[in-house]
């Protein structure tokens, strides 16, 4: 892989790791509210899983002298797991009805498209098409926007719960 790709994955992976850490700290401050509210709990799981998946994908991409097909296989497993966790968690959050902040079909569809684009990118790499790297890069950037906005919605939902409780 070229130095430009290494720089991209280093930067994005570092950012994803930092954001995962911030989400973890924010969750630990409000752990009681998150555990009691199914929407918050599933959103927190989705945010941590998403940021961790981005970090892990970037780590895999930075392994030296790796064949693109091997990277594609690693990504395929990683993104299939992350996609499953995202869709399952989002559907459970919607069904629980505990908090409606940011729970809508466009957010579910947008996030799912990002994850599926990563799966497609992985398959392309397995098949030997370097276009998979470009698709993965675009999907990661858009996914990060979804994850950051999801983290913000988690914070807003917790704030609204605290306001309702009078805390």
Q: Among 3, 6, 87, 102, which residue's Cα sits nearest to residue 49?
A: 87
- Segments in the chain below pLDDT 70: 1, 98-100, 167
d(CA 127, CA 14) in angstroms, rounded, equals: 28
Among positive and negative, which fits the CA dihedral 153, 143, 122, 5? Answer: negative
108 contacts 39 by C-beta, under 8 angstroms:
no
Structure confidence at residue 80 (pLDDT): 98
End-to-end CA separation in angstroms for the chain: 52
Domain that holds residue 52: 3-165
Predicted local distance difference test score (pLDDT) of residue 3: 82
- Does pTM top 0.85 for this prediction? yes
Specify the 3-state DSSP secondary structure of 33: helix
Give the pLDDT of residue 60: 94
* pLDDT for position 54: 96
pLDDT number for residue 75: 97
Locate 144 and state its tokens: 């990060």
Q: Number of structural domains, the chain? A: 1
Q: What local confidence, expressed as pLDDT, does residue 100 receive?
A: 67
- Which pair of tokens denotes residue 46? 């989705």
């Amino acid at each position: 892989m070229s130095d430009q790709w290494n720089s991209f994955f280093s930067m994005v992976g570092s950012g994803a790791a930092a954001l995962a850490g911030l989400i973890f700290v924010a969750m630990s401050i409000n752990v009681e509210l998150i555990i009691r509210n199914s929407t918050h709990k599933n959103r927190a799981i989705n945010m941590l899983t998403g940021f961790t998946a981005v970090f892990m994908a970037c780590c895999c991409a930075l392994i030296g002298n790796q064949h693109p097909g091997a990277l594609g296989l690693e990504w395929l497993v990683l993104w299939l797991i992350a996609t499953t966790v995202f869709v399952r968690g989002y559907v459970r959050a919607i069904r629980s009805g505990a908090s409606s902040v940011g729970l809508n079909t466009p957010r579910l569809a947008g996030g799912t498209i990002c994850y599926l684009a990563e799966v497609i990118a992985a398959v392309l790499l397995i098949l030997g098409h370097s276009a998979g790297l470009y698709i993965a890069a675009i999907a990661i950037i858009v996914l990060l926007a979804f994850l950051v906005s999801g983290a913000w919605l988690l914070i807003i939902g917790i704030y609204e719960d605290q306001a309702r409780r009078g805390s």
